[in-house]
Amino acid sequence: MKIAIIGFGAAAIGFIERIKDTDVEIHVFEKSKDIYSSSISGIRADGKLFVSKEMGGDLEIDIELQKKLVDFWINKTRNKSVETGQSFSNIEYYKKFYAKGFQPVASDFYHLGTEQLKEILYNIFHEYESNKNIHFHFEKQINKIDFLNGMFRLDNKKTFDNVIVAVGRSGHKLIKTIVKDFPEIVLDSTKVDLGIRFELPDHIVEELNKEMYEFKVKYKSKTGYMVRTFCNNPSGYVVTENYGDFTTVNGHSKIKDKSKNTNFAVLTTVQLTEPFNDPIGYGSNIAKLTNLLGGDKVILQTYSHFKDSKRTKNLYRVQPTLDESNFILGDINLAYPRRIIESVIDFIENLNEVIPGISNTDNLVYAPEIKFYSYTLNNNKFKNLKFIGDCSGYTRSIIYATAHGYLMAEELL
Ligand SMILES: Cc1cc2nc3c(=O)[nH]c(=O)nc-3n(C[C@H](O)[C@H](O)[C@H](O)COP(=O)(O)OP(=O)(O)OC[C@H]3O[C@@H](n4cnc5c(N)ncnc54)[C@H](O)[C@@H]3O)c2cc1C
Q: What is the mean pLDDT of residues 174-182?
A: 93
Residues 58, 51: Cα–Cα separation, whole Å? 14
Contact 47, 116 (CB under 8 A): yes
In the chain, the domains with their CATH numbers are 2-77+112-187+376-412 (3.50.50.60), 191-372 (no CATH)
| Consecutive H or E run containing 349 | helix 338-354
| Consecutive H or E run containing 10 | helix 10-19
For 293-403, where are the E strands, in sequence order? 298-302, 327-329, 364-372, 376-377, 385-387
Residue 394: C-alpha distances to residues 28, 231, 243, 401 (Å): 22, 19, 22, 8
Residues 45, 252: Cα–Cα separation, whole Å? 7
Residues 222, 35: Cα–Cα separation, whole Å? 45
Burial class, 381, CB count within 10 angstroms (exposed 0-12 / middle 13-18 / buried 19+): middle
Residues 234, 257: Cα–Cα separation, whole Å? 11
pLDDT band at 380 (very low <50, low <70, confident <90, very high): very high
Q: Tell which atom from ligand 1 comes closest to the C-alpha of 399.
A: 11
Q: Residue 408: pLDDT above 70?
A: yes
Residue having the nearest C-alpha atom to atom 45 of ligand 1 = 7
Q: Residue 87: pLDDT above 90?
A: no
Q: Report CA(218)–ligand 1 centroid distance (Å).
A: 24
pLDDT at position 259 is 97
Q: Report CA(362)–ligand 1 centroid distance (Å).
A: 33
Q: Report CA(167)–ligand 1 centroid distance (Å).
A: 7
Residue having the nearest C-alpha atom to atom 13 of ligand 1 = 42
- Of 250, 237, 230, 235, nearest to 205 by C-alpha is 235
- 277 Cβ contact list (under 8 Å, min separation 6): 189, 190
pLDDT at position 38 is 61
Lowest mean pLDDT segment, chosen from 57-71, 220-234, 371-385: 371-385
pLDDT at position 79 is 84
Q: Report CA(9)–ligand 1 centroid distance (Å).
A: 6
φ/ψ region of 25 (left if φ > 0, alpha if ψ in -120 to 50, else beta) reads: beta
Q: Report CA(40)–ligand 1 centroid distance (Å).
A: 6
pLDDT at position 280 is 83
Q: Tell which atom from ligand 1 comes closest to the C-alpha of 29.
A: 43
pLDDT at position 212 is 81
Q: Tell which atom from ligand 1 comes closest to the C-alpha of 392.
A: 26
pLDDT at position 11 is 97
Residue having the nearest C-alpha atom to atom 12 of ligand 1 = 397
- Number of H helices and E strands in the chain, helices first, is 10, 23
Q: Is 12 in the pocket of ligand 1 (CB under 6 A)?
A: yes
pLDDT band at 305 (very low <50, low <70, confident <90, very high): very high
Q: Is 48 in the pocket of ligand 1 (CB under 6 A)?
A: yes
Beta-bridge mates of residue 219: 102, 227
Residue having the nearest C-alpha atom to atom 11 of ligand 1 = 397
Q: What is the mean pLDDT of residues 235-241?
A: 95
**What is the chain's mean pLDDT, rounded?**
93
pLDDT band at 364 (very low <50, low <70, confident <90, very high): very high
Q: Tell which atom from ligand 1 comes closest to the C-alpha of 11.
A: 25
Condensed to tens digits (0 to 9), the pLDDT of residues 20-57 reads: 999 999 999 999 998 877 666 778 877 889 999 888 99
Q: Is 55 in the pocket of ligand 1 (CB under 6 A)?
A: no
Q: Is 240 in the pocket of ligand 1 (CB under 6 A)?
A: no
pLDDT band at 274 (very low <50, low <70, confident <90, very high): confident
- Of 3, 13, 101, nearest to 49 by C-alpha is 13
φ/ψ region of 206 (left if φ > 0, alpha if ψ in -120 to 50, else beta) reads: alpha
339 compared with 156, residue with greater pLDDT? 339
Q: What is the mean pLDDT of residues 50-71?
A: 93
Q: Is 47 in the pocket of ligand 1 (CB under 6 A)?
A: yes
**368 cis-preceded (ω within 30 degrees of 0):** yes
Condensed to tens digits (0 to 9), the pLDDT of residues 96-152 reads: 999 999 999 988 989 898 888 889 999 999 999 999 999 999 999 999 999 888 889
Q: Is 40 in the pocket of ligand 1 (CB under 6 A)?
A: yes
pLDDT at position 40 is 63
Residue-wise DSSP of 114-133: HHHHHHHHHHHHHHHHTSTT
pLDDT band at 69 (very low <50, low <70, confident <90, very high): very high
Q: What is the mean pLDDT of residues 151-169?
A: 93
In the chain, % of residues over pLDDT 70 = 99
Residues 408, 399: Cα–Cα separation, whole Å? 14
Residues 312, 301: Cα–Cα separation, whole Å? 5
